Structure 1
Amino acid sequence: MGEKDVISQFGKSAKAYVDSSIHKKGSDLQKLKEITGMTGEEQVLDVATGGGHTANALAPAVKHVTALDVTPEMLNEAEQFITGQGNKNVSFTLGKAEQLPFPDESFDIVTCRIAAHHFSDTEKFVKEVSRVLKKEGQFILDDNVAPEDEKLDEFYNKVEKLRDYSHQRAYKKSEWLKQIELTGFKISDWYSFEKTFKFDSWCDRMQLPAEEKEELNDIFMKAPKETKNYFNIKTDESGRTVSFQGEAILLRAVKR
């Protein structure tokens, strides 16, 4: 499991991610724009741009955005979306988060939104972010996180992996804090968001076969009471999962 899985999975799901409301309209995206304090002169790199929503949101407020993704189909969809919005200061680069194809100190801001749980080596990714950032540059990370409790962590990553085989790991908040600080960043802003996942659209976005969707529903329905409470798992009268609640963090770190 790794890069090939990500390319395969997101190649077939690219359009669904461009249209996904949780990616397109999340309140975290507005907060992300607020905390960067953009002046209009910044060179920005958006890692694992996906549907291009972050790059598109930042483009009008900065000098240039480089949108990077490992999946050609996703990059094409992002380009169509962003150019269709009238933004002309965005370029598109095929590449890996763990091996950024840019010289040292190339960017003022590096963003990565709702993507790092697909990376095979997040420590290498964070080091690469530090390398391509200028001194005092900003790293803006936004991603789903797992609970600190081991059993709840295991449950969340298990259902995410079953739903999407390219999922690597949603990290705990404490794990992100450690990785980022040990790489030489100072974390200056930290926000937490509750995220409600509608079960059907959550599954359908990855074009999950009916049999696997039923298996996932069964896991939610049979979860221990404390797990159901923690994730606020909602069901209907017929015994089907309607929704559950996860958590995401948004942080701003400055390169020392």
Structure 2
Amino acid sequence: MDIKKDVQQQFGKNAASYVSSPIHKDGKDLVKMVEMAIVNGQEHLLDIATGGGHTANAFAPLVKKVTAVDLTVEMLAAAENFIKENGHLNVNFVQGDAEKLPFEDKSFEIVTCRIAPHHFPNVDLFIKEVQRVLKPQGQFILDDNVVPENEDFDRFYNTIEKLRDFSHYRAWKKSQWIEKLEESCLEIFEMHRFEKTFHFEPWCANMKLSEPKKNDLTKYILETPQRIKDKFRIVIEDGKVICFVGEAIILKAVKR
């Protein structure tokens, strides 16, 4: 089974939980994304890998039109229900692949993508597609989990994410995002780093992780070296993982 089928399988069966997930629904990062965008109300915005539709929902009152695209039809249905319940009727929903977008060149003033690129098997193709569909001077606002520059920390975080969610491909380093975007003629204007506290039980429950797999994940975390535990501020009580702290970035880039 390839990674894209993995993504469709995972998110298809967990679509509703992503609409209600606190990290996706209530994140302060979403407020920051909106603050970073320059809008005049006439923009056509593309939200890639819309998931539960939270980003599309946040921008819908601010722009003329939103197109929400996702690989998984169940996620699109959940997003559409959520957004229409909030009274936004200027959003259309399209099934599509982030690495091969079904839109013409220079179609959008703004492109957003939130908490999704770590699932993309070819992030360079994704960036190329963003650059293609953006109009000149168009804004790209990216929000995703990242890993520290240290190789051991990188390996640990990507390993636990993969153990929890087989559709996880890779969280990238901050330096890698900067390099990839600027190589694609997307000029970085603004960047924010923020921390995210992951509470272990709901983090696993979001993916409906089985008890044996959750036990394997717990064992891996418990046995990890102390310096990694310190870095990720892993809280362990009575042999159980309570929470840990990861990091994410929001980048705003402009097409030149």
Equivalence for 2:19: 18
Question: Which amino acid in 2 is paired with 1:90?
Answer: V
Task: Count residues in correspondence.
Answer: 255
Aligned to 1:89: 90
- CA drift at 1:115: 0.2
User: 1:199 Cα deviation (Å)?
Assistant: 0.2
Structure 2: how far apart are the matches of 1:138 and 1:121?
Answer: 21
Partner of 1:140: 141
Displacement of 1:158 in angstroms is: 0.4
For residues 99-178 of structure 1, the aligned pairs below 5 Å read 99-178=100-179
- Secondary structure at the aligned position of 2:218 is classed as helix
In the TM superposition, what is the alpha-carbon distance from 1:147 to its structure 2 partner? 1.1
1:69 equivalent in structure 2: 70
Shift of 1:24: 0.5
Alignment of 1:32-71 (within 5 A): 32-71=33-72
Q: How large is the RMSD of aligned CA atoms in angstroms? A: 0.5
Alignment partners' CA distance in 2, 1:185 and 1:179: 9
TM-score (structure 1 length as normaliser): 0.99
1:248 matched residue in structure 2: 248
Determine the C-alpha separation between the residues in 2 that align with 1:32 and 1:25.
13
* In 2: Cα distance, 1:87 partner to 1:109 partner: 18
Structure 1: which amino acid aligns with 2:251?
L
User: What are structure 2's unaligned runs of at least 5 residues?
Assistant: none
Shift of 1:160: 0.2
Amino acid of the structure 2 residue aligned with 1:221: L
Distance 2:26 2:137 in 1: 29
| Percent of residue pairs identical | 54
Is 2:215 aligned against 1:214? yes
In the TM superposition, residue 223 of structure 1 has moved relative to its aligned partner by 1.2
Name the SS of the counterpart of 2:47 in structure 1: strand
Residue 198 of structure 2 corresponds to: 197
Q: Partner of 1:228: helix, strand, or coil?
A: helix
- 1:141 to partner: Cα distance: 0.4
Residue-by-residue CA offset, 1:124-168 (whole Å, 9 max, x unaligned):
000100000000000000000011111110010000001000000
Quick one: distance in 1 between partners of 2:174 and 2:130? 19
- What residue identity is the alignment partner of 1:49? T
Q: Secondary structure at the match of 1:16?
A: helix
What TM-score, normalized to structure 2?
0.99
Query: Quick one: distance in 2 between partners of 1:201 and 1:38?
Result: 35
> Cα distance, 1:38 vs. partner?
1.3
Shift of 1:91: 0.2
